[in-house]
Amino acid sequence: MGRLFLLFLEGSFYSCKYCQAHLAVTDDIISKSFHSRHGKAYLFENVVNVFEGEREERMMMTGMHTVVDIYCVGCCSLLGWKYESAEDKSQKYKEGKFILERFQILGPDGSGYSGSHEAQLEGGSDGDEA
């Protein structure tokens, strides 16, 4: 397991909903308009307190991407994924960035996501909201 880091910015970070490990600061949000298999997802520049799974090719709404799933170092919950590479030139901005699924995290005010947790699309998605 990796080391657990604390972000000492009162009220300005996202955390794991299961163990409250700090994951990302609000200043690192790139976009709040992504979707995953389970609903809303946020794209972050940086995250902490995660470890990576195996690299895999995944077909998403925006094309083929090489990704690694990311897990919480505190409780091993699957939180989202990291983009390793994108085939489409228009998607290259995602490389090295992280998706955190909203239903797996607590917001800066400590609240959880109360939206629908039903699967949006089989096989996963990373599509920007239309």
What's the pLDDT tens digit per position in 100-115? 999 999 998 888 876 5
Tally the C-alpha atoms within 13 A of residue 72's C-alpha that lie toward its C-beta: 22
The pLDDT assigned to 130 comes to: 28
Write out the residue range of the structural domain in which residue 83 sits.
31-106
Is 18 a member of any domain? Answer: no
Are the C-beta atoms of 39 and 120 separated by less than 8 Å?
Answer: yes
- The answer to whether 120 touches 37, Cβ cutoff 8 Å, is yes
Residue 75 lies inside a defined structural domain of this protein: yes
Is position 69 within any domain? yes
Q: Has residue 118 got a pLDDT over 90? A: no
pLDDT-based confidence at residue 78 (cuts at 50, 70, 90):
very high
- pLDDT for position 124: 43
pLDDT tens-digit series, residues 52-73? 999 999 999 999 999 999 999 9
DSSP per position, 76-120? --EEEEEEEEESSGGGGGGTT-EEEEGGGEE-TTSPBP-S--S-S
Determine, yes or no, domain membership for 96: yes
CATH code, domain with 88:
2.170.150.20
> Cα 126–59–95 angle (5° rounding)?
60
Q: What is the pLDDT of residue 3?
A: 60
Of 125, 117, 120, 116, the closest CA to residue 81 belongs to 125
For residue 56, what is the enclosing H or E element? strand 50-60
Number of domains present in the structure of the chain: 1
